[in-house]
């Protein structure tokens, strides 16, 4: 009933023995305080931004109740994806099984909310009590006119990264290629792994429009279910959140002959490089020319705006702790503002992301090994950086160290992608680094009395 993990080629990707390398295959130890997440979370992160679908969590309240509507993935239209829908398994369900309840729940959700599809997520408890998710979905499908899609990634399967991959399998096997687009644009691409956090996607789209690229499907930021079904007709896949969906692009290449490139839209350099790579992949002379002209113009515009900020930020030192594409892309992005990364670390990245980060960083830079809260605090004390760049779960801990902090993960409210995003990012960095509040906290109060007087 589960996706066969050995077929996901997890083994080949984790040969790293480097200190601080992400431990994809290594088990987290009980009680050591590593703050990672679970496979269910990873699967939901990928699929939940499908805005016109209903997302039903088959589990007890811990899986949906604590965490619904808590990510910053934005929609330009439907809001259905933000609803917390769950079978809310109770004690009697655990004793007698929850399949019947699940089938009825899917039918009720479909009737009440009129979704374009229903994603149904297994959890630890539903898997343990032996509920057969696939069969229940098939049974419900008889009464539901839209696709009912089982997502079998219970939390104990592994950490977030494994859940990302399971979601990739679901997209590939059950959704992509199930409908044909009305027309096919000559320069149609898919984004894979762009979740439109805080509206990131909308910072990239103006550039795509300017150079004449059509976004066939974004997987899955601000996505509509029907667009994803036609993703197999794109001519190129652009893997944005780095490796977590590599399995998906590889399989799409095999089955549909769609080549893929990797890219990032954080920072001027990476944005330009990715746009250029897209144009080059098509090889169309006009497209390449348009792209170069666009890059030339936007780089100049963006640099002019951030120049005064860069002048003030130059020489500042940051600690970077994140996952995915940001692991390495943020190193470059910060450097564009004159900021050096003096320590970097990651938990949810792949070994490739990690190596890329390491290569970009100064060789003397510190690699964060102890990723627990305690390890993090000790590091900040040792290094006293001018800025911490990390995710929301580190935010309040970082504030206690009286250090400027920037949230770059899913909880943030500002978009940082594309050229416009770089300006937003630069302003956000400057706002925290130069905030007048930090100085106040370093002043002892009441003032020490001089004994001699």
Partner 1 sequence: MSKAVNVYGSINGCSTMTGPVAEPRSYTGNPQKNSPALGATIAYMGVDGLLALLHGSQGCSTFIRLQLSRHFKEPIPLNSTALLEDTAIFGGWEHLKKGIAKAADKFQPRIIGVMSSGLTETFGDDMVSALASLRQERPDLIEKPVVLAKTPDYIGSLQEGYQRTVLALLDTLTVDPAPRESNTVALFPGAHFTPADVEELKDTVSLFGLTPLVLPDISTSLDGHFELEPAPVVQGGITLEDIRRIPGCIASFSFGPSMAVVGESLQKRHGVPHIAVPSLTGLEAVDTFYLKLCQLSGRPIPERLLRQRSRLLDTLADYHDQLGQKRIAIALESDLLISLANCLVEVGAVIQVALAATALHENVLPNFTFPSQYAVDVGDLEHLEERAPGSHLIIANSNARQAALPLKIPHLRAGLPVFDRAGMSQKVWIGYRGTQQFLYDCLNAMAG
Among positions 128-147, residues that touch partner 1 (CB under 8 A) are 128-129
Residues 404-423 that bind partner 1 (CB under 8 A): 411
Q: Nearest approach, Cβ of 153 to partner 1 (angstroms)?
A: 10
Task: Tell me if 271 sits within 8 A of 265, measured CB to CB.
Answer: yes
> Quick one: 133 or 192, whose CB is closer to partner 1?
133
Exactly one of 127, 208, 245, 389 binds partner 1 (CB under 8 A); that residue is 127
For partner 1, the closer CB: 90 or 293: 90
Q: What does the block give as tokens for 51?
A: 């805005």
Using rule CB under 8 A, residue 23 touches partner 1: no
Applying CB under 8 A, the span of 32-40, 245-253, 338-346, 361-369 interacting with partner 1 comes to 32-40
Tell me the closest approach of the beta carbon of residue 109 to partner 1, in angstroms. 6
Is residue 63 close enough to count as binding partner 1 by CB under 8 A? yes
Cα torsion 220, 224, 230, 232 to 10°: value is 0
Q: Binding residue for partner 1 (CB under 8 A) from 70, 76, 114, 384? A: 70
What is the crossing angle of helices 246-256 and 160-170, to 10°?
Answer: 20
* By the rule CB under 8 A, 28 interacts with partner 1: yes
Stretch that binds partner 1, among 121-129, 175-183, 275-283, 318-326 (CB under 8 A): 121-129
C-alpha 222, offset from chain centre: 13
Q: What is the DSSP string of 65-108?
A: TTTTT-S-B--SS--GGGS-EE----HHHHHH-SHHHHHHHHHH
Q: Which residue of 20, 49, 60, 404 would you call a contact of partner 1, by CB under 8 A?
A: 60
* For partner 1, the closer CB: 94 or 179: 94
- 39-58 residues in contact with partner 1 (CB under 8 A) are 39-41, 56
Interatomic CA distance for residues 148 and 134, integer angstroms: 10
Bond into 141 cis (ω within 30): no
Q: Which is nearer to partner 1, 34 or 367 (CB)?
A: 34
Q: Which of 39, 66, 126, 56 is nearest to 90 (CA)?
A: 126
Binding window for partner 1 (CB under 8 A); candidates: 257-265, 288-296, 315-323, 373-381:
373-381
- Would you give the distance in Å from CA 187 to the centre of its chain? 25
Contacts of residue 237, Cβ cutoff 8 Å, sequence gap at least 6? 189, 190, 192, 249, 252, 253, 258, 259, 260, 261
Query: Which letter, b or e, does each residue of 322-335 get, where b requires 16 or more Cβ atoms within 10 Å of its Cβ?
Result: bbbbbbbbbbbbbb
Segment interacting with partner 1 (CB under 8 A) among 6-14, 27-35, 166-174, 421-429: 27-35
Q: List the interface residues with partner 1, window 145-204 (CB under 8 A).
A: 154-159
Site size for partner 1, by CB under 8 A? 75
Cis peptide bond prior to 288, omega within 30° of 0:
no
Give yes or no for residue 360 binding partner 1 (CB under 8 A): no
Q: Which of residues 80-109 bind partner 1 (CB under 8 A)?
A: 82-94, 101, 104-105, 108-109
What angle, rounded to 10 degrees, do the helices at 392-400 and 373-383 form? 50
């Amino acid at each position: 009933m589960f996706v066969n993990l050995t077929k996901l080629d997890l083994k080949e990707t984790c040969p790293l023995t480097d200190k601080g390398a992400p431990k994809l295959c290594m088990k987290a130890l009980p009680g050591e305080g590593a703050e990672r997440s679970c496979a269910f979370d990873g699967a939901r992160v990928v699929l939940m931004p499908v805005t016109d679908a209903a997302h039903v969590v088959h589990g007890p309240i811990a899986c949906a109740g604590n965490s619904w509507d808590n990510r910053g993935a934005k929609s330009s239209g439907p809001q259905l994806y933000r609803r917390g829908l769950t079978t809310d398994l109770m004690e009697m369900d655990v004793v007698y099984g929850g399949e019947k309840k699940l089938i009825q729940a899917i039918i009720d959700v479909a009737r009440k909310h009129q979704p374009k599809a229903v994603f149904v997520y297994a959890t630890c408890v539903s898997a343990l009590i032996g509920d057969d998710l696939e069969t229940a979905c098939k049974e419900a499908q008889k009464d539901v006119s839209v696709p009912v899609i089982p997502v079998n990634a219970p939390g104990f399967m592994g950490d977030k990264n494994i859940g990302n991959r399971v979601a990739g399998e679901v997209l590939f096997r059950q959704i992509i290629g199930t409908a044909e687009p009305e027309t096919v644009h000559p320069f149609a691409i898919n984004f894979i792994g762009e979740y439109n956090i805080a509206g990131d996607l909308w910072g990239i789209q103006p550039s795509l429009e300017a150079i004449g690229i059509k976004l066939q499907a974004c997987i899955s930021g601000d996505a509509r279910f029907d667009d994803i079904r036609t993703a197999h007709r794109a001519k190129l896949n652009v893997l944005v959140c780095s490796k977590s969906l590599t399995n998906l692009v590889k399989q799409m290449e095999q089955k549909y002959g769609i080549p893929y490139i990797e890219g990032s839209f954080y920072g001027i350099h990476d944005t330009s490089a990715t746009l250029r790579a897209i144009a080059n992949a098509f090889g169309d002379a006009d497209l390449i020319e348009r792209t170069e002209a666009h890059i030339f113009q936007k780089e100049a515009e963006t640099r002019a705006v951030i120049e005064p900020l860069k002048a003030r930020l130059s020489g500042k030192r940051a600690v970077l702790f994140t996952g995915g594409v940001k692991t390495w892309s943020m190193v470059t992005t910060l450097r564009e503002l004159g900021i050096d990364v003096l320590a970097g670390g990651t938990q949810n990245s792949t070994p490739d992301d990690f190596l890329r980060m390491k290569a970009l960083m100064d060789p003397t830079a510190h690699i964060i090994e102890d990723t627990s809260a305690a390890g993090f605090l000790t590091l900040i004390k040792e290094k006293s950086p001018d800025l911490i760049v990390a995710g929301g779960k580190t935010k309040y801990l970082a504030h206690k160290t009286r250090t400027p902090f920037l949230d770059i993960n899913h909880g943030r409210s500002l978009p940082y992608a594309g050229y416009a995003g770089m300006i937003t990012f630069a302003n956000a960095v400057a706002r925290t680094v130069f905030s007048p509040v930090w100085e106040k906290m370093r002043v002892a109060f009441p003032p020490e009395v001089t004994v001699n007087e």
